[in-house]
A and B are shown apart, each in its own frame.
Chain A
């Protein structure tokens, strides 16, 4: 598998990252190198092996259904670039 310039442009759009034409060329090269390096894993026989999602030999820890947080609006909004009347405010995004 390898990427071309249009695929890089697509990924950049999805990630909301602005990439200039010259950077795209560079990124095609870099990303392809990474892909090819990872593709070496394809040489290993993995038939019937469960995908490993973590190196930790433990199961998901769970928490009880108890309210332990909230009522700290000032903390939550404290770093927001803009807020009003207790809401975050952003440029209008209505469809």
Chain B
């Protein structure tokens, strides 16, 4: 995507760094718990609080989660990686350094395939993934002159996932985050909850004339929703273009996104803040992985979104778009498959993506808490297929299912919605309508044939929508012909 400036077109170049909190019971280097929302400083071990003499011991499962994520990103797994100390001072970093990985991360180059609108795809490179500790949390608004520090989060395992500068529009950045989140959730390595901060994003943005080398980039720190990431990039790119077109230059700097005003502004950082003086952590030996263990993890991977999408297209003949939407979340994919099993897959997709997703959106709940079970939605489709109810009434039955959670057969029986295919009853309704609308019948017979639809409507109304539409059409045409 190109942005038209005053002096010609510009191209946006975007790379993203995502911090994803690893799903584990205990922290990366200590035995304290990781649960979100506990009382302050109750999930802290002396290791997390950096008491003198405490030594870190790595959590095997966190390593496994990082390897699993690397495999899910089709990335190179480095059998030897090294932990380094990243040195800086901040109140919520008790050791004065963060244990991270610098030159030798656990995961190397990989890739993510973006699903773009219209069913197109685009590949974005992953530069690396490394393991590191999260910091504690500072609360600045509890006291006029003091900052409160809670170390519950200090030491929780994070995966920092760095992309190549392969994205060219805010939409692609949004698609990247959605796809990455989808893969992490499928793998069960991060819950992807941006609101709770278990997935956070730094955006590197620069602009250039098409075909020219990369421009100077700015980094927008800690953006916490997909929508904000897209807004921040859009704003930042336009800001940079304006500066350049006015003859200015871009200063490489860290900026913050103000979501209230929709703007980015420079972060007031002290000088030298980026001089981290990395060096290998003398408390930790290099992390060496057994290739057999990596293979074991590889063999335990679930079917991932891309594979599922391809299978949905192949097996159920769905469009790329429909297959992509259904495969985006494991829960919706599983739900869809339970509905589609033994039924018309296209019709199942229409019900799940149209009626069901619409209802869930209105209710503001996820598919895991759907009032309509996959089994009941399947039964509803069966009732349409065997002619018990019309497609039109199915919408009403579905609405009742959302409301009551009942199975469709019960609703159809209790509310008397069974489709009337009894020709005698339908004929009776037609006769009544024709008798009442004698003038219109005469007009129709005089050549005003478009009145046919009107008659169909009247008959359907007379039968409360329960008449079989095909039978109505058929009988009505005969009777009107005289």
Measured CB to CB, the residues of A under 8 A from B are: 10, 13-14, 16, 51, 53-54, 56, 58-73, 75-77, 82, 84-95
Contact = CB atoms under 8 A, between A and B. Distances in A.
A89 B149 CA distance: 6
Contact of B31 (A61, A68, A84): A68
A73 B60 contact: no
Majority SS at the chain B contact face = loop
Interface of B: 24-26, 30-33, 39-47, 49, 57-63, 82, 87, 89-91, 138-140, 142-143, 145-151, 267-269, 271-272, 275, 277, 280, 282, 284-288
B90 A59 contact: no
A65 B59 contact: yes
A86 B40 contact: yes
Contacts of A66: 25-26, 31
A94 B140 contact: yes
20 contacts: A53-B286, A58-B285, A60-B58, A60-B287, A61-B57, A63-B31, A63-B60, A64-B61, A66-B25, A66-B31, A69-B30, A69-B31, A70-B45, A73-B41, A87-B149, A88-B151, A89-B149, A91-B146, A92-B143, A95-B269
Given A58-B285, A62-B57, A89-B143, A68 B26 contact: yes
B79 to A, nearest CB: 11
Nearest to A10: B272
Nearest to A67: B33
B127 to A, nearest CB: 22
B25 A93 contact: no
Nearest to A16: B89
Nearest to A63: B57
A28 B234 CA distance: 48
Given A76-B151, A87-B40, A14 B87 contact: yes
A38 B30 CA distance: 35
Given A62-B57, A62-B58, A70-B33, 15 more contacts: A60-B287, A61-B58, A63-B58, A64-B61, A65-B62, A69-B45, A69-B46, A73-B42, A73-B44, A75-B46, A85-B148, A87-B150, A89-B143, A92-B147, A94-B147
A43 B264 CA distance: 50
Contact of A90 (B43, B62, B149, B269): B149
Contact of B42 (A13, A70, A90): A70
B60 A62 contact: yes
Contacts of A13: 271-272
